[in-house]
Structures are given as C-alpha cells and as structure tokens.
Structure 1
Amino acid sequence: MAPHPDYPNASSFEDRHGRTRWRFRRNGKTVALPGEPGDAEFVAAYDAAANGRVLKKASVIRLPTAVEPGTFRDAWRKVKKTSEWLALDEATRLKNTTLAEEFLEMPLAPGLKEKWGDQLVRDFRRRHMKAVIASQIDTPHKAKHMLVAIRKMIYVALDEEWIEADPTYKLSYRPEYKGWRAWTEAERAQFEKRWPVGSAARTCYGLALWLGNRRSDVSRLKWSMFDFERRRVTISTKKGNKDLVLPITPMLLEILAPLDRSKEFVLLNAYGNPFSEKSLTGMMAHWTKLAGMVKGCTLHGLRKTLGKLLAESGSTTRQLMEMLGHDDIEHAELYSREASQQKLARDAMAKLSRKMSIKKAQEGRN
C-alpha cells in the first residue's frame, strides 16, 4: 500500500490481476478512485470522497433525433448533405427517401426489435443485403430501387472511411422489366373514334403519343415551349431535369391545330385550368372507359407505344433514348429488341414459307 503525497488518505494497491488501483480510506470507509492521480475522473472522485459526498454520474438523455455515429441513420443524414443528393430532382429524392426510411425502420429479422437504422454500417454483410432484397420479392422493382437507396448510404460510409469495401459490390438485381404495355393499333383507332381532335381527351392522348412525354411533362406543356417556325418544341423534363428538343410532326400539328393558343398551358380541363399530373392518370382511365376500351390502356402506355413505333420504323437505340429522354440504355433497348425479334421471326418464317412453296411446286411437277 503506497499513499500518495498530494492526495491525503489516497493509496494504491495491486488487485488480483496484478493491476495497480487507487482508493480513498478514512474512518473505516473505503471509496474506489478511478484512473490515475491527476486524471479528471480521479480528482473528481477524490474531491467527493474527501468532502463526504457521493459522486453522481451525469445522466445521459437521448434526444429523439439523436443517432449513433457510424450507423445507417448517421449515413443517411450525411447522404442528404452530399452534392450528388442535392443534384437529384424532387421526385427522385422523394422516392429514395421513402425507400431509405423504410429500410432504416426494418427489423434485422422477423420478430426482432432491433432495426437496421441503428446498426453500424461496418457490420453490414452481403448476406444481409440479399436478405433485404428477398424480403421484397413480391415487389421486385421496389427491391431494385431499395438497393440503390441503401448503396447511397454505403458510399457515404466509404467516403467517411467507416468501411474499406462495399458489401454490395457487383450485387445486381434486375427484375424482368415489362412496364406499361403499348396500345395496339385497334385500341388507338377506338380511342380516336370516340374522342375528336380538339377535345381534352384527344389532346392529352396526342401529346403523350407524339411527344412520348411522361404525365409530369404533359401536364406542364406551355405554348411558349413551341417554336412553330422551326417546327420544334423544347421541354425540360421533370424527371431527370433533361432538356429535350423534339420535332413537331404533322401528327402533332393535327392535335394542336384547333386549340386556343391564348392560354398559357396547352392541355386544359373543363374549367380552363391545367391538369395536375396525378389527375391525368385517372382521367385517362375515365376516357378509355367511356370509349368502351379494356383496362390496360394507360397514359404511360402511349409513351411505350411511341417507342414501339419508332423501333419498328428502324430507329436506333440511341435515337430512341434521345426522343424519349432515357438515360438508361436498358429501357430503350426493350423497344428495339422487341421490334428486332418480330422482324427476324417474320423474315425467318417468310424464307421457310418460300422454301416449302418451292418444294411443293417441284413435287407437283414430278
């Protein structure tokens, strides 16, 4: 036992593990002193013992918005401060936020209270990502986009040097993409027969079909975007914020000809106001129903119809991408692959038919 000259009644001793420890002893009472003499915690404990006080540890109150450093919640907060995140359009940010927050609140496994948001990113393994994807098997496209959202947190963890490798590296999830189906020629004829040029239904139909726009762009089309002298329209897409300069074709001119150009917006409802993008989906369902058409003829399906028509007319994948505003070549290739398959199949069967006809004719002569 070795008393300390600067701290009366404080002495050191060796515990059963051979480590040197300190304690305060006076009037038969012993108080353990943490750390080493001179340490802040040692001095605080010694002062309390010397003055007959009980040293109380400060209580830690966890705020509702607090996050543990290095967790997925911490990573998600940092994602929203990156330049890449701020450059995304509002719709994309909203979609990623919804999926990311769902992941953060997802339990590690069914029946467990622990959530992924409170787990350290460094403990995340490839098998965990596969399990998350598997849990979304009924909504495969949602699983694909959730992987994208989680990767944003993984990349932040790499930048912060919390981890040294991406556990999702080369982990791809590409569900079969079908999307909204294209309208058939008979369906287009049925709709056009019911809704004449000049009606809101036909205008919406024509804009979506001959410009290949999404509903978010169809609803925002203004006359100021159209340059009729140069026969072109300039559109800044809401999704992806891309500037597209598209031709005004004779088919589109037919749609626009009877419309009132004194208004700001091209497509107007019965009250003279522009449609909201969400209302257009319901209105197209209403218009097709009044035309006696089957379900499945959607507004977005007209965009796919244009892609199909372009591919069948021989347009290249690059031309399809520029016309429809696609960044992902995979989407544009859907149209060209389908058109190519039909053409190859038609040509192959034509050759076989000619061969069989020649063979039959030769057998007839013999």
Structure 2
Amino acid sequence: MAKIDLPYVQALTDRHGKRRHYYRRAGYPRVTLPGTPGSAEFMAAYAEADARAPRVDPREKVQPRSINALIVEYYSSASFLELRDSTKRGYRNILDRFRAQYGDKGAASIQTHHLEAIFHKMGDRTGAARNLRRRLNKVFGLAVRLGWRADNPVAHTSTIKRKTEGFIPWSEDDIAQFEAHWPSGSRERLALALLLYTGVRRSDVVSIGRQHVSDGRISVNQLKTTKRVSILIHPALQAELDQAKGLTFLTTAYGKPFTAAGFTKWFRERAAMAGLENRTPHGLRKAAGRRLAEAGCTSKEIAAVLGHSTLSEVEIYTRSADQLRLSDTAIQRLKKAETRTG
C-alpha cells in the first residue's frame, strides 16, 4: 500500500498490476477515486467523497457545553436537518474546520472580540469570513435558545465587504473566441451551448441527459431551488445535442458524470486553453441573462428561463443591458430635443 498526502486516501495495486486509489474512512463506504492523484478529476472526486462523510456523530462524547457540543446540537436541529444534502455538506465543511480549531472551548466563553480576531486572521479571504460568520450566527443563535448563553456574540461582529461584481460575465467576443478554439461536436462546445442556451447552473448542467429532452424542450428540476424549468431548445444547442453520445450529455474522460466542482474546474481549464482566463460556467449564466435582456425579454420572461423566484434576482443579469438600452434612449431624446430647438 502506498500513501498519498491526503487524508483517507488509500492506494492499492490490483491483480492486473494496475494502481487504484480509494477514499477509505472507518465506518463509511469505500469510494473509488478516478484518474491520477492531483488531476482535476481525482481531486473533484476526493472533495465530493470527503464532503459526504459526516464529520460529527451526534452520539460522540464531547465536553458538555463546549463548541463541539454546540455544533453537535446544531447538526441535530430541525433548521439543519431540513436543508438539502448538498447544503448540509457545505455547512459541515465550514463548521468542522472551525470546530477542529476551537471545539474544546466553552460555548459561553466565546466573545465578540474573539470572533472578530478570528475573522481578521482570515485576511483577504473575505468570502470565507462572511460564510463562517453566517454559519456561526445560526449556531450561537441556537446556544441562546438552549439557554447556554444570554447573547449571540456573532450578532455584533462584522466582516470586510469586498466590492465585486462576482463571476465575470462572458462577452460576445469571449463566446466567439471560445467557439473558434473548440470545434462543433466537442465536449467543450456542447458544455458552452448547454450553459448559454438554457441558463442552468453548474449543479444542473452536469446531470442533463437525453431523459430530460422531449418535444423540443429540455426540462429539469433545479437542484438549488427544486423548481422545475422547461426550456425550448435553441437551434445552436440542438446542433450540438445531435452530435452528443451517451445518456448524460457531459461526462468526464472516463465516461462518468461530472461533479459540479469537477465540471467547473474542467470548464475553466478549457476556457483558459482558448485564451480566456477566469471564465466560469456561472459567467455564461450571466451571459444568457444579458442576451435575453438585449433581445427585449421582460423580467418575468427572463426569470422563467433562469428559474428565479424573484424579479430582483433577474436584475443581476440584466443590469448592463438595461444601462445600454436606457443610455441609448436618453441620447436619442437629447438629439431630438436639440433638433427642435435648433
């Protein structure tokens, strides 16, 4: 057995002399890790297996009223148990890192200035600090309800607000450059078309297959919202679907479905190979919203395609198109006014 510098990874040589790797953790099923250690596919599969293995057993013995005990209580609470499995895994990843460092501390002894210092240590990782703050706010809110402490120390903390537009939207030049590099019929072009002409999230695009196609439409239940969307297939997308093989449209080099994280890493690498740095699947979702707005679609029409529940969410994707259209209208009005007075 060879050891790899990752927790719970086991390497074995089978009877054919082939090296195989597994995620193996006591008390949980063994998971096969495809690809070679360090590859995008390997690391994506490892991350998913590691996230699925619960870090906390509610029955485990912990110091009473410690941070450990409080997080165990939170994992057993109704507000946590009613979350989707994917959301639970994300919350566990955040809280278990905090628990590993501070779990032995008393839940009542943690004060606002302690948490401020922890957030400050995270430096420029402001996104991580904000996420940790949100999760701890729930945890210490439970401590108040349980009577473990009189106040929530997270309520008076703050994190750095980073001014950002989020994921970079793809421009028309970006799209043309990607298409010029990756020919029609390639996995890359199929991925681009699925993202651009359906507007689905990465968590949904990885599962779309022939079973979701019927009567010229793609219909899928969104993983994030559970809302069902049904979208007419654009001719450009149909051209790529006609060349696709297999039941699931997007698969790894080994013919296996992508994980959401693995797909994002793969797609970003493919975009970089086309000369497009920092371009993501979500950036194409923004491009889809922009295109719909520029085509004159109403906010409700755009929401129906993108699967948003509120119109305020649509504004994120239509802001640039609205600015362009309104500025053009304003200048045209100005020109007409000048002509009348001239």
TM-score in terms of structure 2 length:
0.69
Q: How does 1:140-289 map to 2 (within 5 A)?
A: 140-169=126-155, 175-227=162-214, 229=215, 231-238=216-223, 240=224, 242-251=226-235, 252-260=237-245, 263-268=246-251, 272-289=255-272
How many pairs does the alignment contain? 281
The residue type paired with residue 78 of structure 1 is E
Contact 1:180–1:301 (Cα < 8 Å) also in 2: yes
What's the offset of the Cα at 1:284? 2.5
Q: 1:167 to 1:190 in 2, by over 3 A?
A: same
Residue 135 and residue 280 in structure 1: after superposition, are their counterparts in 2 closer, same or farther (change >3 A)?
same
Deviation at 1:319, TM superposition (A): 5.1
Which structure's CA Rg is the greater one? 1
- CA separation in 2, counterparts of 1:286 and 1:124? 42
CA distance in 2, matches of 1:131, 1:232: 52
Query: 2:169 touches 2:284 (CA, 8 Å); kept in 1?
Result: yes
- 8 Å Cα contact 2:287/2:317 also seen in 1: no
**Amino acid across the alignment from 1:148:** R
* Residue from 102, 112, 115 that aligns with 2:97: 102
Instruction: Give structure 1 stretches of 5+ with no counterpart.
Output: 1-64, 107-114
Point out the more displaced range, 281-290 or 68-77.
Answer: 281-290
CA distance in 1, matches of 2:269, 2:66: 47
Pairs within 5 Å for 1:9-28: none
Higher relative contact order (CA 8 A, sep 6+): 2
- Structure 2 unmatched runs, 5+: 1-59
Q: What letter is aligned with 1:147? A: R
2:310 and 2:140 map into 1 onto residues whose CA distance is 22
CA contact (8 A) 1:200 1:269 kept: no
- What is the letter of the counterpart of residue 84 of structure 1? S
Identity between Structure 1 and Structure 2 (%): 26
Distance 1:131 1:315 in 2: 48
RMSD of aligned C-alpha atoms? Answer: 3.2
- 1:351 aligned partner: 333
Q: CA deviation at 1:177?
A: 4.2
The farther-off stretch of 198-207 and 268-277 is: 268-277
Distance 2:99 2:311 in 1: 31
Cα distance, 1:84 vs. partner?
Answer: 2.4
Structure 1 distance, partners of 2:247, 2:117, is 51
Could you tell me which residue of structure 1 aligns to residue 49 of structure 2?
Answer: none
Cα distance in structure 2, aligned partners of 1:318 and 1:123: 50
**Matching residue of 2:281:** 299
Query: C-alpha separation between the residues in 1 aligned to 2:271 and 2:95?
Result: 36
* Separation in structure 2 between the aligned mates of residue 317 and residue 123 of structure 1, nearest angstrom: 49
Q: Which residue of 2 aligns with 1:42?
A: none
Query: Offset at 1:270?
Result: 5.7
Question: In the alignment, is residue 70 of structure 1 matched against residue 55 of structure 2?
Answer: no
Structure 1: distance between partners of 2:211 and 2:108 = 52
If the length of structure 1 is used for normalisation, what is the TM-score?
0.65
Partner of 2:322, secondary structure, is helix
In the alignment, the residues of structure 1 paired with residue 67 and residue 336 of structure 2 have an alpha-carbon distance, to the nearest angstrom, of 65
2:57 corresponds to:
none
> Alignment partner for residue 293 of structure 2, among 293, 307, 311?
311
- Maintained 8 Å contact 2:219/2:229: yes
Contact 1:151 1:168 in 2 (8 A): yes
CA deviation profile, 1:7-49 (whole Å, cap 9, x unmatched): xxxxxxxxxxxxxxxxxxxxxxxxxxxxxxxxxxxxxxxxxxx
Q: How far did 1:74 drift?
A: 1.2
Once residues 162 and 79 of structure 1 are traced to their aligned partners in structure 2, the CA distance between those partners, rounded to angstroms, is: 13
The Cα of 1:205 is off from its aligned counterpart by 0.8
Query: Residue 89 of structure 1 contacts residue 241 of structure 1 at CA under 8 Å; is this kept in 2?
Result: no
Q: Please state whether the residue corresponding to 2:148 is helix, strand or coil.
A: coil
2:106 pairs with one of 117, 120, 132 = 120
